[in-house]
Amino acid sequence: MEGGAVVTRFAPSPTGPLHLGHAYSAVRAHAFARAGGGAFLLRIEDIDGTRSRAEHVAGILDDLRWLGLEWDGPMVFQSARSGAYAAALDVLRRRRLVYPCFCTRAEITEAVGAPHGPTAAYPGTCRGVDPASRPGEAHAWRIDMAAATASAGPIDWWDERAGSVRAEPGSQGDVVLARKDVATSYHLAVTVDDAAQGVTDVVRGMDLFAATHIHRLLQALLGLPTPRYRHHQLLIGADGERLAKRRGSQSLASLRADGTDGRKLAAGLIEDIPPAGFSIGRD
């Protein structure tokens, strides 16, 4: 993608309070958009209806304002875009590039257990199962990775730090594109939404680098544009671990309550200078 106005986005999930790692991504995306005379968008990734909370949305807005960040245009809520995700999934379904998966979490855990380890790719247990033989049974939709990669052919994407990257989604197996309880997944929703919002540059942490292989494949299959990617290093806590909601990392709300100057914090993060006790990961 060459030329045109820069469009970045910040897309948090309202499943808990934001922490410094989120602030690092947000200020980088905001600064890159403003430096290019472009737009900084805000998208609320609230497809997880069981964990998303209105109070966390309000907290996100308070945090961004505290950091001195202004977004352009209205917020986009993924919970309001189910039709767009269904349409994209239907394209893949009609091309026979996805299949229904009836496996429970326990069955999947057992299937990918030793000797492959807990992070092994789904072994395709339901590939080839006739859905007519299990009428009315809840199921997810998985991409048929072999068929999908064959259809897409060789594809690549560009990353600010890594340069040109050959997409290798096959290593992640037949990932879920629509869950049993939610008619989409992170992979499908983020790909469809980035295209719909005209995002030219995706600024996000290195923890999502591997996911970009899947997103690039979906872009190719759905005929969507490919943005540039700018994966940055992650913030590290005093314990040497990366920040994460599930680990209870210190929230921006607590820093705000303690009297921290949000604009000064943001200015430091832009210069890769986090607060005392935190550091930025290195290769």
Which tokens is 155 given? Answer: 């594809």
Q: Let me know: does 32 contact 57? Beta carbons within 8 Å.
A: no
How far does Cα 185 stand from its chain's mean position?
Answer: 10
8-state DSSP, 136: T
Antiparallel, parallel or unpaired: β 98-101 and 140-143:
antiparallel
Tokens of 82: 């189910």
245 noted as active-site residue? yes
Please name which of 201, 210, 206, 267 lies closest in space to residue 232, comparing C-alpha atoms. 206
Contact (CB, 8 A) for 281 and 242: yes
Q: Which of 245, 250, 256, 270 is catalytic?
A: 245
The tokens for 195 are 């295209």
Of 19, 12, 61, residue with least CA distance to 250 = 19
Give catalytic residue positions: 245
